[in-house]
Amino acid sequence: MPVVSLEAFLNAQIYAFLLVFARVGTALMFMPIFGESFVSGTIRLLFALGMSLLLMPVLMPTLPVAPTDVPGLITLIATEGFIGLFLGVIARLLMSTLEVAGMIISMQTGLAAAMMFNPSLGTQGSPFGSMLGVLGITIVVIADLHHLLLAGIGNSYALFPPGGLLPVNDFSETIMRLVGQSFAIGTQMAAPFVIGGIILNVALGVLSRLVPQMQIFFVALPVQIGAGLMLFAISLGAAMLLWLTLFEETLIGLLGSG
């Protein structure tokens, strides 16, 4: 009898850990800061294992009964992984706002073709997009807002109880809304550069008509780059404050991680 009880206890512990780890591990894999390409995979795995072990005793009473068949267990684990993917994508979309703003700024300053390595994406990106991405990660950590990401994972068990039906329609609507919001906020952050680009192009067009002998493109590019860098230095603080407010309010509103 004691052997059977010990076996049942171990099975329950393993089942609970796998169920919690499926959501936590998937979320941390895709979330910014924790899931960046420059973070070692071993560190991410150990962090996910540690967080799963901490949450497991608290969440065990809320977990559904273990399925008696393998397909049911696989479906339950896959469902938890999908919820973790949703949590990670939400945070990643908020970070993509900086990429949108950086690309628009690079186009308006004439540096769109000057690609550089973006450590956040692990690929080539625009200079301003790469800079804003790294700056965004740094500011989130300094402001301790990365705790909202971890709190959001824990609070997700109240929003999406394990074993419940997936609100696929709500997931789709949330993703679509965040994509549109990312483009809208990114455009707002880059609005001074769009307006400045229009003014500069109009001025250069008038100048080319007044002085046809001038090599307007030879003069325009240094002016465009210099004016863009000056405007970037002036507007960077306000733009990042706007994005940081969006980041915090969206996480608190969607996941209740305040």
The CA-to-CA distance between both ends of the chain, in Å, stands at 47
Per-residue confidence (pLDDT) for residue 4, from 0 to 100 = 47
C-alpha 125/C-alpha 116 separation (Å) is: 5
pLDDT tens string 1-32: 444 476 676 777 888 888 999 999 999 988 88
Give pLDDT, residue 168.
83
- Taking only the tens place, the pLDDT of each residue in 133-167 is 888 888 988 888 888 888 888 888 888 888 877 88
Among the listed residues 248, 236, 55, 42, the one whose alpha carbon sits nearest the alpha carbon of residue 143: 248
C-beta of residue 100 within 8 angstroms of C-beta of residue 182: yes
* pTM of the entire predicted model: 0.81
State the residue for tokens 């796998």: 18
pLDDT at residue 164 in the model? 79
* Amino acid 118: pLDDT: 67
Do residues 104 and 184 touch, judged by C-beta distance below 8 A? Answer: no
Per-residue confidence (pLDDT) for residue 1, from 0 to 100: 43
Give residue 121's pLDDT: 63
The β-bridge partners of 117 are: 124
Return d(Cα 163, Cα 76) in angstroms, integer: 6
Size (the chain), residues: 258
- At residue 21, the pLDDT reads 92
C-alpha of 208 from chain center: 44
Q: Which amino acid is at 59?
A: L
List of the chain residues with pLDDT < 50? 1-4
Phi, psi of 49, rounded to the nearest 5 degrees: -65, -45
Sequence-distant (≥ 6) Cβ neighbours of residue 80 within 8 angstroms: 19, 20, 22, 23, 26, 162
Q: Are 153 and 56 in contact (CB under 8 A)?
A: no
